[in-house]
Amino acid sequence: MELFSISDEEYFNYEEYADSYRNEYLPTTLVIGGEEEKGLILLNPQIIFDDGEWEAWEFATWYPGAVRYSSFLEIMMDGYDRILDSDLPKIRDISLKNLET
């Protein structure tokens, strides 16, 4: 048993901020995006759900570990929500009318 291992019950709780991960899964993850100096998005083939989705991880310099999601879609939607909630120009305010001018 690893020193910092967490139970399956804790591991598969995506309702909470899932910042713990299992080191033994790291060598098999697939890096699909990001920048090494800032943050990375990985897919974990060790955890595949009934719908075929792989668990997704986000590593970033501002997180104490990896933030885990139950799917790629979930990690993308969370990122989209963070952009909408930020002080960056609002994506929702961009319309086709604005793009035509």
**pTM > 0.75: yes or no:** no
Would you say residue 66 lies in a domain?
yes
Would you say residue 6 lies in a domain?
no
CB 75 within 8 A of CB 62: no
Would you say residue 13 lies in a domain?
no
Range of the domain at 38: 19-100
Would you say residue 49 lies in a domain?
yes
Q: Which residues of 11-29 are buried (b: 16+ CB within 10 A; e: fewer)?
A: beeeeeebebbbeebeeeb
Would you say residue 5 lies in a domain?
no
Per-position pLDDT tens, the chain of length 101: 445 677 888 888 877 666 678 888 999 999 998 887 788 999 999 999 999 999 999 988 888 778 899 999 999 998 888 777 776 655 555 544 555 55
Would you say residue 1 lies in a domain?
no
